[in-house]
Amino acid sequence: MNKFSVLGYGLTALDIIKSNMVNGIIYDIGGTCFNIANNLNYLGEKTAIITRLGADIAGEEIIRVVEDEDKITLIAQKTRVGKTPRIIEVQRMSVKGGRHYFSFKCPQCGAFLPRYMSPTIDWTRAQLANIDINDIKIVYFDRVAPSLKIVLNRLDKRNTIKIYEPCNINYLFRNDWAFPETDVLKLAVSKNDIENKCLNKINQFCRERNHFPVLTLVTIGEEGVWYSINQRENWYYLKGINSNIIDSCGAGDWFSAILIREILDKFVDEIKNKNIESEKNLMRSLNLAQKYAVLSCKFIGARGLTNNVAQKKIQSKNNIGEIINELSITQKINNKLFVNINNKMNYKLCDMCKLELKL
């Protein structure tokens, strides 16, 4: 059996990136859970993901590339009910910097893109029976579903640290049953959410459920991060790092990956004991996470950083500032997906989203 320090549960998707900085369309593997596992792998951590893909060309290509890269253990249920999730990112570079937005409808064929599907309970239980859980120190999840209960129950006896990153604050409020299991909660919000007193809403949410995580983080992009520690309602602010942005997609995933590695290195016992002893140490870790997030904004796509910067270079904590300053906007685009599709398929694919078209 393979051994892992981090087990992820959640979204793996096909990223479809349209940018005015490159010709053509960039295809890559994405989804919050996969991105974090990919980043952790580049940082030297052994990771595995429990996820679900469709039995379609996108799912087949994702599995093929992951197996070829031989870095992440992808435990993926393939199902003919539904298709592999897809996300379209439109990235634009201008004199004001880079910006992006997401689309969940294909502009070419007009199809609504498939969304997240959770693994089934029986399948998840069978996969967990084949996983060595002894070395798993952290379980990370970005989605909540019945099969997640199987994962959390299996790891609960080992006092595994549970990190929950819902895709938005409303998802947290609507899917709250997993929240009492959470040791670390991370949310990404907008500046408007902060102005609308979302921190007070989170405190109220915690009071109503009689549970405050050991560490709660609310990131606001380049504006910074609010955090609370040791199951208290007090909030503290760490200012963000200003930098020229090409594409901020995936910056939050890098923040999460560094946070997880810092917890593994420094805070495992403190979080298990529900007492982070040194706020200064935590601030250093959060600042490091911010630096990696800024670094990732210099590249197109969530995996742009790991596709462009050598692994040995990125593993050094001491030269992140130097790497940020020396980077140019030259992008290395390495499409590995859909390069050897059989032309004899008896169906036609949309040129952009790779969904089957009705003939």
Instruction: Work out the percent of the chain whose per-residue pLDDT is above 90.
Output: 68
Residues 92-144 have pLDDT tens digits of 988 888 899 999 999 999 999 999 999 999 999 999 998 888 899 999 999 99
The domain locations on the chain are: 6-357
pLDDT value for 306: 87
Is residue 296 scored above 70 in pLDDT? Answer: yes
Give helix 251-262 / helix 32-42 axis angle, nearest 10°.
50
pLDDT value for 97: 84
- Is 6-357 assigned to CATH 3.40.1190.20? yes
Is residue 344 scored above 50 in pLDDT? Answer: no
Is residue 173 scored above 80 in pLDDT? Answer: yes
Residues 174-223 have pLDDT tens digits of 988 889 889 999 999 998 888 889 999 999 999 999 999 999 999 999 89
Is residue 226 scored above 80 in pLDDT? Answer: yes
Average of pLDDT values for 253-271?
96
Residue 75 to residue 53: CA distance in whole angstroms: 10
Beta strand 138-141 with 161-164: parallel, antiparallel or unpaired? parallel
Is residue 48 scored above 80 in pLDDT? Answer: yes
Stronger pLDDT, 81 or 167, i.e. the higher one: 167
Average of pLDDT values for 228-254?
92
Is residue 340 scored above 70 in pLDDT? Answer: no
